[in-house]
Structure 1
Amino acid sequence: MIIKLNTTSATPIYVQLRNQIVIGIGRGDLKIGQGLPTVRQMAEDIGINMMTVTKAYTILKNEGFIEIDRRHGAKVKPTALLTGDFTEKIESELALLITESSLKGIEKEHFLKLCDEMFDRLNISSIAGGNI
């Protein structure tokens, strides 16, 4: 999996790294049980500070996307079940995204079409038996 970070973006590097890994898992580029590079190796490969990688890995672990074992490193974790906390997060993020889209003139039908196209483009429905 190739990690692409935008150093000029307002989005912090650790968030970009976290997002890239989540998308990689969702698309199937990273398989359940597959090991991720060590913190040191990831930092060297993409040219960032090790603490930045550590922060991204910690967030991924806390969110249930990876598991970290001192002997075996970080590995992609089996998909966790939907929780109330995650549902609240989705609702909150969607509320903001829908509001911003509406304020920029995007109609509901266009917004939903964009969501449908993006979902298909990312090929998410084949992951976890379509239970995402």
Structure 2
Amino acid sequence: MLISIDVNSETPIYEQLKEQIIMGIASGALKPGEQLPSIRQLAEDLGVNLHTINKAYNQLKADGLLTVDRRKGAVVNFLAQKPTAQQKDELRRKLRPVLARAICFGLSEQEIEDLCVRTYNQIIGGNDE
């Protein structure tokens, strides 16, 4: 999986990295048990600070998506379990402003649902656009 960072983006680099790893896991480009580059190696490859990579990896670990071990590095977790109520609440909290924005743009409930289904299918199919 190729990771690219937009240094001109308003989105912090660690967030860009997290989003790309999450997309890789969701699309199947990153498989359970797959080892990610070491913090040091990825920082060098991307030309960013070690602490930036460390922050992204640790947040993904806290979300249950990665296991981080000193010897093995970061490894994609097997995600057979159902999300917790807390994880669902977090998703809902992050989704609310996106849905509010769609409503402000005049999208109907059906249009929002169609957009969600199309986007879901694109992610599962490994299609970025």
Same fold (TM over 0.5): yes
Aligned to 2:40: 40
Give the Å deviation of 1:102.
Answer: 0.7
* Structure 2 unmatched ranges of 5 or more: none
Q: Does 1:116 align with 2:126?
A: no
Aligned to 1:70: 70
Give the Å deviation of 1:117.
Answer: 0.7
Taking structure 2 as the reference length, what is the TM-score of the superposition? 0.90
Taking structure 1 as the reference length, what is the TM-score of the superposition? 0.88
Q: For residue 117 of structure 1, give the secondary structure of its aligned residue in structure 2.
A: helix
Return the alpha-carbon distance in structure 2 between the equivalents of residues 7 and 27 of structure 1: 24
Give the Å deviation of 1:81.
Answer: 2.6
Q: Figure out how many residues of one structure are paired with residues of the other and give that number.
A: 124
CA offset digits 1:63-82 (Å, max 9, x no partner) = 10000111111101111431
Aligned to 2:86: 85
Aligned to 2:17: 17
* Identical columns (%): 35
RMSD: 1.3
* Structure 1 unmatched ranges of 5 or more: 125-132
Which amino acid in 2 is paired with 1:26? A
Which amino acid in 1 is paired with 2:67? E
Which amino acid in 1 is paired with 2:16? Q
What does 1:96-107 correspond to in 2, within 5 Å? 96-107=97-108
